[in-house]
Amino acid sequence: QMKVFHFGKTQAIIGSGNPNCNLTRWAVENAPAVKDAPYVSNLEDYKNRVELQLSGYAFPRNKKTDILGSWEKVVEELIDSKSFYEKIDDDSDVEELEKKITYGLINKKDKMLAIYNWVKNSIVWDKYERVFSELDPDEVIELKKGNSSEITFLLLSLLKSAGINGYPVILSTRSNGEIQTLYPIVNQFNYVLANVEIDSETYFLDATDPLRAYDLLPSDVIGVRGLVINPNNKKTEWITLSSNKHNITNTQIYVKLDETGTINGSFKEDFSDYRSLNYRNELQNESELEFIKEFYDTEENNYIIDSILIPTKDSIELPLRIETYFSAPEYAQINDDYLYINPLMIHRRESNPFKLKQRNFPVDYGYKRSYNSVISLYIPSNYEVDEEFKNKELRLDNDLKFKRIISVEDNFIQLLYRLDIKTTLISPNKYQKLREFYSQMIDLQSEQLVLRKKTNISQNN
């Protein structure tokens, strides 16, 4: 509950003046704690707070000077700003570079891709997120370095030289917090990217990461609102940056189990879009072996890595493929004539991520996801499946689906585990169902396959 206390008029000293002021105090009591939780864009967006912005001021015997104007005025000022739109400049240096980059290309999209790839591979992002620029495009070319806005304005300048329409879009990243559109406050924004139009198609480009494909938005801008700064349309044009990407992970596990409980086999995985981008970035900073040891928690699982292949590591237009060949002594538990093994050897959830009993803000996945694991397990010929390992399916409305399917033929067992997250947002009124869904899924992923040594029929006869 918020309370407002008015203390009436008071005085403040500004320069030589002594103006009258009103003193007001806001206080919140019995406010519930807002605890951190997984899958949230920015926790600050869900905290009640008061933010103040000066709307204008007036000195004695002078007219009031307005500070808060309108969004239309903001657009006009940004178009006229030397630190913003005027940075889009196709001068001789930019034009000369553009001709080299697009040499021999006729199609506008091909030119756009060539320019985008040159910028992201040639200019290093200094990790600063900015709306305004200090450097001109030719200075960025010379230094081969810039903040996020300087890289975007260089990109737009090269596109302009190539005859391709493009406009900056200002926004606030998810980690920076959601903007309010009631009042035109520019310092809410912290990022700018390019809105490019070719043959009635719209592309949103950000060239700050050399490992990101042109059609993959930074994950930190998915779902946020942006303001297009277009000199040909000075009206307020808001857009929502959504992603049509469906992040897919395909996992194939091939394993042979012997009577001692030792397994030998391979993990072969394909990661698309954001997971491939994240893992490629990690592989830039550590060796393949270090990455695999951490990724599969080899020490905890007692996996011995024999060899690693990552054939598409440098082919960013393709899913990232990782092939790992391994063994694990005594992986399966032995108890008399029984072997116990969890067939889902990697990527199973050990605990429920949704630990809060109540959650008053949505679960935000950011983008849709699918996880598909197929396990091919060869067991010793003198063993058979003892307890029935049932096919199961879980659903949360049309939002989430999990299924487990098993088929057995002699000593060959094949299992499928699949999780589909078909939405990006789960509303708070579904939170309890979501918690229960994950609890049941974890139980199914943790369930062990029980194998029993076959009875010797000839001895019984």
CATH number of the domain where residue 215 is located:
3.10.620.30
What pLDDT score does 33 carry?
78
Question: In angstroms, rounded to a whole number, what is the distance separating the alpha carbons of residues 371 and 21?
Answer: 60
Mean pLDDT on 51-78: 82
**Number of structural domains in the chain:** 3
What pLDDT score does 243 carry?
85
Residue 459, domain member (yes or no): no
What pLDDT score does 51 carry?
77
Residue 460, domain member (yes or no): no
Cβ contacts of 15-23, under 8 Å, gap ≥ 24: 17/59, 17/60, 19/60
Beta bridge partner(s), residue 21: 10
- 344: CATH: 2.60.120.1130
Greater confidence (135 vs 182) lies with 135
Residue 23 sits in which domain range?
2-66
Question: In angstroms, rounded to a whole number, what is the distance separating the alpha carbons of residues 164 and 154?
Answer: 13
Residue 461, domain member (yes or no): no
Question: In angstroms, rounded to a whole number, what is the distance separating the alpha carbons of residues 409 and 379?
Answer: 11
Q: What is the pTM of this model?
A: 0.88
Do 113 and 188 reside in the same domain of the chain? yes
What pLDDT score does 131 carry?
97
What pLDDT score does 220 carry?
96
Query: Whole-angstrom distance between the N-terminal and C-terminal Cα of the chain?
Result: 81
Question: And the tokens for 85?
Answer: 């739109």
Do 259 and 308 reside in the same domain of the chain? yes
Mean pLDDT on 93-103: 96
With cut-offs at 50, 70 and 90, classify the pLDDT of residue 59: confident
Is residue 146 within 8 A of residue 125, CB to CB? The reply is yes
Mean pLDDT on 288-311: 96
Q: Taking all residues of the chain, what is their mean pLDDT, rounded to a whole number? A: 91
Do 215 and 279 reside in the same domain of the chain? no
Residue 9 clears pLDDT 80, i.e. is over it: no
Beta bridge partner(s), residue 230: 233
Residue 415 clears pLDDT 70, i.e. is over it: yes
Of 66, 85, 104, the domain-final residue: 66
What pLDDT score does 461 carry?
44
What pLDDT score does 61 carry?
72
Residue 458, domain member (yes or no): no
Percent of residues, the chain, with pLDDT higher than 90: 79
Question: And the tokens for 278?
Answer: 């994240």
What pLDDT score does 18 carry?
62
311-368 pLDDT, tens digit per residue, is: 999 999 999 999 999 999 999 999 999 999 999 999 999 999 999 999 999 999 999 9
Name the residue among 72, 87, 80, 68 with its Cα closest to residue 233.
Answer: 72
With cut-offs at 50, 70 and 90, classify the pLDDT of residue 265: very high
